[in-house]
Every structure is written in structure tokens, then in C-alpha cells.
């Protein structure tokens, strides 16, 4: 039984170390502002070693209407809490015709906000 307790204890310590070592931008993010359709864009970032990857559902304001697009995200770590983010657009309604978009983003407010400038917007951590 002691061997099992030790293994479970080591598993818990390993899990904590993995969480403690992940990048502070890892998590689920929601747009600070709602689109004109009343919905907020949302995406998830996961740690893939030297870069972060993720996917999200984005509300993109078109002329007179909001287009719902999926975006695949790759974020390279530039410096501590600074990222070069690329979004590759996909989905119906011409989303795949939108060129890949690049943003410079910075974690702020105790890692609870991700500021991607005037073009990329402000994002709040929800998980």
C-alpha cells in the first residue's frame, strides 16, 4: 500500500509541476466587448512547448452583419508575457477568405487580461 501511496503522491506532485510550468497565457479567453449580435468571441490557448496553440470562435463585424468564424491560433513567446499571435481564419460565410492576421499581445493585470492592441482587442481570462 505504501508503494501505491507514493505513486499517487508523485502523480500529484507531477501534475502540480506541469501546471506550475505552463505559460501564463494558457487558458480560456473571452473578448472584453460584445459584438453587435450580443455575443462575445472566445478562444482557448494550450502550451505546446516553445509556442502556444489554440482555437476559438470569433464574432467578426462585417458591413451590417456579424460573421461567425473559427480561428486557429499560434502564439510565439517573444518575451516574458509578450506574444506574437497569428490567427488563421476558417469557416463558412467567407471566413477562409480573410487573410491570416498577426497581433502583438501582452498579458496585464496579474495575467487576467490579454491586450492585443486596437486591432486585436482586449481579452479577459475566464478559465
Judging by beta carbons within 10 Å of its beta carbon (0-12, 13-18, 19+), is residue 54 exposed, middle or buried? buried
Residue 67 makes CB contacts below 8 A (sequence gap 6+) with 59, 60, 61, 93, 94, 95
pTM (2 d.p.): 0.79
C-alpha cell at 80: 516574458
> Which tops the pLDDT comparison, 85 or 9?
85
Give, as one character, the DSSP assignment of residue 99: P
Count Cβ atoms below 10 Å from residue 72 Cβ, excluding itself: 15
> Which tops the pLDDT comparison, 17 or 54?
54
User: Can you tell me the distance from the alpha carbon of 13 to that of 8, in angstroms, rounded to the nearest whole number?
Assistant: 9
3-state secondary structure of 50: coil
The pLDDT of residue 47: 94
Q: Using 50, 70 and 90 to split pLDDT, how confident is the model at 21? A: low
Q: What is the mean pLDDT of residues 38-62?
A: 93
The pLDDT of residue 3: 46
Q: Using 50, 70 and 90 to split pLDDT, how confident is the model at 70? A: very high
The pLDDT of residue 63: 84
Amino acid at each position: 500500500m505504501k508503494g501505491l501511496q507514493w505513486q499517487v503522491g508523485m502523480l500529484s506532485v507531477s501534475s502540480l509541476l506541469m501546471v506550475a510550468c505552463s505559460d501564463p497565457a494558457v487558458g480560456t479567453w473571452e473578448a472584453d466587448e460584445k459584438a453587435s449580435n450580443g455575443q462575445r468571441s472566445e478562444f482557448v490557448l494550450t502550451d505546446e512547448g516553445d509556442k502556444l496553440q489554440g482555437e476559438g470562435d470569433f464574432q467578426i463585424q462585417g458591413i451590417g452583419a456579424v460573421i461567425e468564424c473559427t480561428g486557429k491560433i499560434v502564439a510565439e513567446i517573444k518575451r516574458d508575457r509578450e506574444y506574437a499571435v497569428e490567427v488563421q481564419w476558417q469557416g463558412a460565410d467567407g471566413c477562409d477568405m480573410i487573410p491570416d492576421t498577426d497581433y502583438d499581445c501582452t498579458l496585464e493585470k496579474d495575467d487576467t487580461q490579454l491586450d492585443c492592441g486596437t486591432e486585436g482587442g482586449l481579452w479577459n481570462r475566464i478559465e
